[in-house]
Structure 1
Amino acid sequence: MRKSLKVCYSVLLALVLIIPLAACGKEEVQKIRVAEVTRSIFYAPQYVAIEKGFFKEEGLEIDLKTTPGGDKTMTALLSNGADVALVGSETSIYVSAQGSKDPVINFAQLTQTDGTFLVSRNKVDNFSWDQLKGSTFLGQRKGGMPQMAGEFVLKKNGIDPHNDLTLIQNIDYANIATAFASGTGDYVQLFEPTASVFEKEGKGHIIASFGTESGHIPYTTFMAKESFLKDKQDTAEKFTRAVYKAQKWVYEHSAEETAKAIQSFFPDTDLELIETVVDRYKKQESFAKNPILDKEEWNNLQNIMEDAGELPKRISHDSLVNTEIAQQVTKK
């Protein structure tokens, strides 16, 4: 009996000693609520970071929600419904112009070009931008970055979008592709994968890239309130490091491998189509190669907004961009 008691005490003592040691060795996982403006293959590195466990390696659990539209995404961030927002950098400028005691700061860039393509109804063998003159062009919603980048490119190529062609901008984003498929417009500005689907189905032909033409801009970035970045700088650094790992992974692996990695985020999209889109964005370097949003990109963004008459006021790079976190991550 005494021998049995001794064994029981020994087992209990071992458990008492082991459990605290195990608890000490386990790092607490922190949940980060991310609101993305839309679900898009354009954001492939974000999904790679989740799927390949790069966030998990940093002790982070990502609660990803799609909040359609820049206004809804920013509302989620400002109302504390999200910790981090993935949205166009222009939204941080709009919020700042309205006045905020806790400004929204861009801290990690995900995409660095516009993501739309010029699609023609008829096949064009030798395309030149002046062919759009006199045509009907189905553009994006007024005030949005796709529309501003689109008009910037047209002007860059000597076309006045409001006089040299018939510009249609009163169709909701979700219905633009349907309107073109139904016969509206000679040309349309479309995101992927719709542009590639139209080409595959013979409904249109991709003839130019607005992303290539408009140059590098902070098209989509991760942003958070200034207070979050100050109070949880270590968390922001871990988050950015995971993003950077994914950015490198995408450029170090084939479009096919990336497509397979992110397929679960697009269950209704054919794997071959995902690969086509990833390859197209990768070749024109739409995916940022690192999370640093530099001054040149920031100024290019504001130039495009100003040219479109949508810039409330010019705001310095230092005011709404934090590059310290990204620079620290990339140096390591």
Structure 2
Amino acid sequence: MKALTKTDFKFAGQKSVYHGKVRDVYNINDDLMVMVATDRISAFDVVLPKGIPFKGQVLNQIAAKFLDATTDICPNWKLATPDPMVTVGLKCEGFRVEMIIRSILTGSAWREYKNGCRELCGVKLPDGMKENERFPEPIITPTTKADEGHDMNISKEEIIAQGIVSAEDYAIMEDYTRKIFARGQEIAAKRGLILVDTKYEFGKRDGKVYLIDEIHTPDSSRYFYADGYEEKLAKGEPQRQLSKEFVRQWLIEHDFMNEPGQTMPEITDEYAESVSERYIELYEHIVGEKFERENSDEDIAQRIEKNVSEWLAAFKSR
């Protein structure tokens, strides 16, 4: 099974390229962005040495479906998906914060709560909560967006005081965050899932705030199965979840959390294929449709280059 782990395209009008942990983003004439969802996978802020077949297609197609499903709430950057692994959209000036919204006390928020924290990013937390218990209403816990290293928790008040985002733009982002999350929760509920928490990124173009990047994918979001949620909560048992948490757990079991002196365990072809199957399972649960694998016999990079180049030429000639 083939996996795309590296890209080096030269599209017409290309100004620059940014290689992220998972996505490669091509700047076309400072007007459009070609975002390629590669098959790279990251955990603990490090990219694993082997790609996961079909992972890029899974993430790109989930994000595209949810971007299309929220256009009535707010404008977003997406124009088209000329290839299963590619979204092309408007280039926006990204805000230097990520809007994280949580409906349930779990993950890093639970770890801080368990250690006595009762205020997260300026949001007061009630006493006496249990792991995986719902908040009275979803809370927004933003982080700074770091080019390297870890993103840092920050409060709404600090964001505005430091001039990272204006009070007016932050109010718009906050409103969009709550409404998009509510829509995501509605869609998840129809699939027998709970959208637990997620992150959104926003940018600005021509004075207008846009939703950018991916949304509601298993890399940016956490889902629980609704069936059995209450029983497991009552018994203090771990919830069944859909996210890439299973990869983190596998690494922890193999003594790797990207700490000094630790060595990345070997990623065998068999393990990579098992992760691929899990991502496809995630897609089918989240989207509610069968996943159609792209032909894996063809050269993935050649296919992408052809599809994107044809789309860009047609767009230019409009």
- Superposition TM-score tier, normalisation by shorter sequence: under 0.3
Q: TM-score, normalised by structure 1?
A: 0.25
Higher fraction of helix:
1
More strand by share: 2
Higher normalized contact order (CA 8 Å, seq sep 6+, divided by chain length): 1
Structure with higher Rg: it is 1
